[in-house]
Amino acid sequence: MSPRLRAWAELLRLPALCTVPGDVLAGAAAAGVRPGRRTLLAVGASVCLYEAGMALNDWADRAEDAVDRPHRPLPSGRVRPAAALTAAGALTAAGLGLAARAGRPALTVAAPLAATVWAYDLALKHTPAGPAAMAAARALDLLLGAATAGRTRAALPSAALLGAHTLAVTAVSRTEARGGNAVAPLAALAATALLAHRLPAARGAAATRGLPGLTPATGTAAHPTTARTRTPAAGPAGTRTPAAGPAGTRTPAAGPAGTRTPAAGAPAARTRHAAAPAAFAPRPADALVPALAALYALTAARPYAHAVLNPSPQLTQRAVGAGIRATVPLQAALAARSGARAGALLVAALAPLGARLARKVSIT
């Protein structure tokens, strides 16, 4: 990698980019949307707005970084401040343009998302409202995926969980340059444990929207099948008329001689599909949400614990990096519990890529 490209990769925090597509995919899954052209456009918009925030963040913090982090691209002179600000503006415009192509509902979410990013970097970052603003940005990014189908309300629970995680990570990051605060890592550790416990809940919600999943009531596989039967009903001798019953069925009834009634002990109807078993039989796919929840907890918990025991700048920065990386299995778990198992595995596959890039470029 050339020095110029490396400087821009550091400015835009390239490894953290792997945490972005999962926001939109988890939002689409929560809304019951199968990924398509609009979803891809929303992912592109999300990536552009995220990287705009990265460039704008370093531009806004260039004086502070000159003291605390002189190796960063702007204070070290490897990237000019004007170039970083121009990149932030161009990426914001590109993100809003892609969101507009994804549809008016997507643009309706992307516009406040862009405003939140700029407000955080330029005004709110060093105020008590900073962590809440960053959490709102992540939550809006997830809702962007649901907005491609105009179903943002269905994705609100997932957005709240992702926002809570982001709030905890951002609170830890406020002291990463100088360390000395064990309260924030402790709170983040508790939040991670709570979220990991909550993730496996409501795994069957997607099935009620017609997606492959588990039905909330029984835990059995949901299939769009309806039993259809044909049996004689009560009426004059030699006639067959439908009896009262569920729509689409003909049920047997007692009648005078000459009618056809089922013999005792005989099956009452012919079914096109076998009934689902009443008891829940675990399948390998059903373990995906708990497995991803455990991966999420394991990714973040140990570095948080180290920062609690020794809140030095180095360990606090490691905790922040771990919290950012843990976003990927969290997104995957949110997608999986909404029934989008293939999408969850796709999101989870971004974690090794992000880890590999983090060995070359710092994620914080």
pLDDT digits (tens, 9 = 90+) for 175-217: 888 888 899 999 999 999 999 999 987 554 444 443 433 334 3
pLDDT tens-place string over residues 211-269: 433 334 333 434 444 444 444 444 444 444 444 444 444 444 444 444 444 444 444 44
Give one word for 179, left, alpha or beta, with left for phi > 0 and alpha for psi -120 to 50.
Answer: left
User: Where does residue 343 rank: exposed (0-12), middle (13-18), buried (19+ CB within 10 A)?
Assistant: buried
Q: Which of 6, 5, 84, 101 is nearest to 44 (CA)?
A: 101
| 319-331 mean pLDDT | 96
Per-chain mean pLDDT for the chain: 83
